[in-house]
Amino acid sequence: MDKFDLIVCGAGVAGFCAAIAAARRGASVALVERQTTPGGILTYYGNCSIDEFNNPFRQDKKMVIAGIGWEYALRLWRAGYARIPDMNAEYVKHFQYGVRVNPAAAAKFMDDMLLEVGVHLFYGQPMVEALTEGRRITGIRIATRSGLQTLAADMFIDCTGDGELAAFAGAWTVTGDGEGVLQPGTLRYFPAVEPGEDRVLNFGDNRNHVPIDPTDSDAVTRAEIAARRMIFERMETGEERIMAIAPAVAPREGRRIRGESCMQVADYESGRQFADSICYTYWFVDVHREGQKALIRYIRHENTPSVRLSAMISADIENMMMAGRCISSDRETNSAIRVKSSCMAMGEAAGAAAAMALRKKTDVRALDIAELKADLQAGGAIVPGLEAGREFSL
């Protein structure tokens, strides 16, 4: 058995930031990922845009998310592997502020940043069991190429997107609308193009929607087969020449985990702030519906929505937090907070909170929120209650 202070399950953008935030604060951290590459939706699933670091409807200081996520974007940009748009530009379309990245470089730079701070990486080694005692997780089992291996820790963060750690541990979760309806997933494909000297390789927004329940393995199998068939039908009819497709269908929603609080869409859309608002988030209500127009409600005001720390603390498991799209929220709020920059901000906040609780040998629920906010700000994050935003600069 290998023992760590903290185990982060899921190496998407939330887990990436959570692991780095905790490791930079002195915690020994294991990062467990079912795929053989980090990045999740950004890399493996082919959606190569990080949305959205700014609130374009603020009059000034439009940047509302910084910290580890922005540091990562700048590293890619300085090396020529990202396009960062003008965050002060007049709003035209919601996707104009996305930071487009080269997916191969995006994964490599994640590796670099994780290894720099000593995170123990378990890629291609999916979690298959959670070990529990009462209301606590004591460890997890992962499937390695040599057999099962047990990893133990004092704290855990579920960044799987679909709430897999929570489900394995017996925590209460809800999937989709609670009655079997989920947003369709997307299989992205890349037309045959000549990228020239552009190392970002921006293939545009070519995608195929397909019904998928990422919490059901058989449903995932059916969705993957159907999506590939749909794409090849397009190519065989001569509609497009396709160079490549993403390795898998990217889901939009799965399980949401019950937290100490639950984010509500009325609070989100109004930009209401709470005493434990720990990071900002900016996107609109964006519920995709199979065979119907998407339910979209834009946020066009200066009040930037935020995420509560209590919505990232499990109500059922004493030593588990969550970050990313599996946090405690209603469905419409979840459709907005699932974008990558928001997941990065949540991951950083969760990792910092876990590290502080470990260092103080206390429950994360007992942390001094003012002290935690100051710690996050000192690490470069933009924190509600301390800052409304920052000026955009490269």
Q: Return the SS3 of 22.
A: helix
DSSP secondary-structure letter at 361?
Answer: T
The reported pLDDT for the residue numbered 94 is 87
- Based on the fold, state whether residues 116 and 197 are members of the same structural domain: no
- Based on the fold, state whether residues 229 and 359 are members of the same structural domain: no
The reported pLDDT for the residue numbered 237 is 79
Taking only Cα atoms into account, the Rg of the chain, rounded to an integer number of angstroms, comes to 20
- Based on the fold, state whether residues 74 and 193 are members of the same structural domain: no
Handedness of CA 38, 137, 331, 228 (dihedral sign): positive
- Based on the fold, state whether residues 317 and 363 are members of the same structural domain: yes
pTM: 0.95
In a domain, 393, yes or no: no
- Nearby residues of 73 by Cβ (< 8 Å), 6 or more positions away: 50, 53, 82, 84, 99, 101
- Based on the fold, state whether residues 193 and 335 are members of the same structural domain: no
Q: What are 373-382's pLDDT values in tens digits?
A: 999 999 999 9
- Region 1-22 average pLDDT: 96
Please tell me the total count of domains within the chain: 2
Degrees, nearest 5: CA angle 316-171-261: 50
- Based on the fold, state whether residues 283 and 342 are members of the same structural domain: yes
Q: Indicate whether 4 pLDDT > 70.
A: yes
Q: Can you state the percent helix, strand and coil of the chain, rounding each to 5?
A: 30, 25, 45
Rounded distance, CA 50 to CA 346, Å?
Answer: 14
Q: Indicate whether 210 pLDDT > 60.
A: yes
Q: Domain range holding 231? A: 185-245
Looking from the CA of 41 toward its CB, the CA atoms found within 13 Å total 26
In a domain, 69, yes or no: yes
- Based on the fold, state whether residues 237 and 299 are members of the same structural domain: no
In a domain, 314, yes or no: yes
- Based on the fold, state whether residues 38 and 55 are members of the same structural domain: yes
The first and second tokens of residue 284, run together, are 């609109």
- Based on the fold, state whether residues 341 and 354 are members of the same structural domain: yes
Average pLDDT, the chain: 94
In a domain, 64, yes or no: yes
In a domain, 383, yes or no: no
Q: Indicate whether 240 pLDDT > 90.
A: no
- Based on the fold, state whether residues 148 and 257 are members of the same structural domain: yes
Q: Yes or no: say if 254 and 220 are a contact pair by the CB < 8 Å rule.
A: no
- Under the banding of pLDDT at 50, 70 and 90, the label for residue 204 is very low
- Based on the fold, state whether residues 41 and 135 are members of the same structural domain: yes
In a domain, 124, yes or no: yes
DSSP characters over 168-235: HHT--EEETTTTS----EEEEEEE----TT-SS----S-EEEE---TT-HHHHHHHHHHHHHHHHHHH
In a domain, 387, yes or no: no
Q: What are 149-164's pLDDT values in tens digits?
A: 999 999 999 999 999 9
Q: Indicate whether 62 pLDDT > 60.
A: yes
In a domain, 123, yes or no: yes
The reported pLDDT for the residue numbered 199 is 63
Q: What is the CATH number of the domain that holds 332?
A: 3.50.50.60
- What are the start-end ranges of the H helices in the chain? 13-24, 67-78, 103-116, 164-169, 217-236, 265-270, 331-337, 340-360, 369-378
- Based on the fold, state whether residues 218 and 312 are members of the same structural domain: no
